[in-house]
Structure 1
Amino acid sequence: MGWLAMSRMSMGGHDTPKGYLDAQFTYERGAQDGKRGLKVLASSCVNNRVWYGAVQQIENGVAGDVFAVICLVNWNPKARDGYHFAYKQMDECVGPCEAECPERILDLLTETDKPHAIDWRARCRAAIASRRRDVPDGALVRFERALTCGDGQEAIDFRVRKDGAKLRFFRADGAGPYRVRNFYKLGWSIVLETKVHRTVFARAGEPTKEMLKCA
């Protein structure tokens, strides 16, 4: 399916892409053998760029399987051409490239035997696990592939400094800071470093901690 574009006036009174898409995938229609429909159990429109929904099949009032619907979103409320909102829908069975579905939505999906859907769910889970990896302040991070810095130099090892919730990266020669886009999606590992602690010797006649413990 291609893109469907519209003005804000055509969004049925909904002020956001999420509101419109939640309503779009919640409906009930008459069929020859009764009524069929869909119901959005939970959804999220991540950065107003991708909408993820856990959508349940309804047949004659009976709740059925829950599958994932994914919509690419183009949201520009100030568009001069009048097309403020556009979306392109697909479901998990086609194996979308976008795989940032929130965990609370994944947890609502029923089991599936569709290979592309299984792969897509696994990629979403892997992305969630990656974002949960802790990167300590001062850690040395090694990337699987060299990154090109703003000055044209390439490097695989970077020292991480935390600036609140943001991560800043410095090369081994001290150059930086740099930002690494989609950091948690890249292949990287934390380099284990041996830390050498300064040895403190007691002065002559001064009791050591061991001597104090035995006193």
Structure 2
Amino acid sequence: MTSAGVGGHATPKAYLDDQFTYSRTVDGGGTRGMRVIDSACVGNRVWYAAAEIVEDGEPQYVIALVCLVRWNPKARDRYVFAYKEMEESMGPCEAGCPARILRLLSPTANEHALDWRRRCLVRLRLHARKIEDGMRLRFPRPMAFGDGHSGTDFIVVKKGESVTFRSDVGRSRYRITGFRDLAWVVVPETRVHRTVFTTSPLSANAA
């Protein structure tokens, strides 16, 4: 849609929050609708929301909504925004939902929704791992690069929010896209302690 189609909303999040908050009259009387309780548009690429189902003005339960987002406010053809909507029971591939939204969802027995929630929790745990400069990480499979290097062990080089990796056998620096989603482990540093010899009382007397 064009900027006019976005209806004056400045961001994809604002538009989708409004789009999925509504109430409609159903056949036979009464109303049914939805209300977005909380949402996040991660990287302006994926919108995640906790949406409350409302019937006749009464809250019923809360589900997760997921929208793939394409947002380009400088598009030459003026089509700045597009989205594809899903809900958790469809088992979306995208599983980067923030924890605060997951906590708002109602219990469910739907296997696709449960699988999606599990994948989100696994990703949250992976992303919660602490990264420090100088750490040695071991990846589950060899990482190959354009300079011909391939290996599983790399040293973290962290400067502020920037994270790159150094080979454990050289000085080359590498970027590993999506490394937080991979099942790496920290290789403990082996420390060699200096041996201290002390003089025994017998030796001192003998001298």
Q: TM-score surpassing 0.5? A: yes
Matched with 1:49 is 45
Matched with 1:25 is 20
Matched with 1:9 is 4
The code of the aligned residue for 1:44 comes to A
Q: Which runs of 5+ in 2 are unaligned?
A: 200-207
Task: Give yes or no for the alignment of 1:134 onto 2:148.
Answer: no
SS in 1 for 2:95: coil
Identify which of 186, 190, 199 aligns with 2:186.
190
Matched with 1:105 is 101
SS in 1 for 2:124: helix
Tell me the distance in 2 between the aligned counterparts of 1:137 and 1:17. Answer: 36
Tell me the distance in 2 between the aligned counterparts of 1:173 and 1:87. Answer: 45
SS in 1 for 2:173: coil
Tell me the distance in 2 between the aligned counterparts of 1:161 and 1:201. Answer: 38
Matched with 1:151 is 147
Q: CA deviation at 1:201?
A: 6.0
Preserved CA contact (<8 Å) 2:126 2:182 = no
CA RMSD of aligned residues (A): 1.5
Task: Output the TM-score relative to the length of structure 1.
Answer: 0.88
Tell me the distance in 2 between the aligned counterparts of 1:15 and 1:173. Answer: 49
Preserved CA contact (<8 Å) 2:137 2:154 = yes
The code of the aligned residue for 1:10 comes to G
Query: Residues 34-93 of structure 1: CA distance to partner in whole angstroms, max 9, x if unpaired?
Result: 011000000000010000010000000100110000000000011111210000000111
Task: Give yes or no for the alignment of 1:160 onto 2:162.
Answer: no
The 5 Å alignment of 1:63-102 reads 63-102=59-98
Tell me the distance in 1 between the aligned counterparts of 2:132 and 2:69. Answer: 35
Query: Residues 105-163 of structure 1: CA distance to partner in whole angstroms, max 9, x if unpaired?
Result: 00000001110100100111111111111133222111001111231221111011221
Identify which of 101, 107, 118 aligns with 2:114.
118
Preserved CA contact (<8 Å) 2:126 2:183 = no
Tell me the distance in 1 between the aligned counterparts of 2:144 and 2:85. Answer: 35
SS in 1 for 2:16: helix
Single out whichever of 159-168 and 7-16 deviates more from structure 2: 159-168
Query: Following TM superposition, where does structure 1 have runs of at least 4 consecutive aligned residues deviating by more than 3 angstroms?
Result: 198-202
The code of the aligned residue for 2:145 comes to C
Tell me the distance in 2 between the aligned counterparts of 1:17 and 1:168. Answer: 31
Q: CA deviation at 1:197?
A: 2.6
Q: Which runs of 5+ in 1 are unaligned?
A: 1-5, 205-215
Matched with 2:168 is 172
Tell me the distance in 2 between the aligned counterparts of 1:166 and 1:199. Answer: 39
Aligned residues: 198
Task: Output the TM-score relative to the length of structure 2.
Answer: 0.91
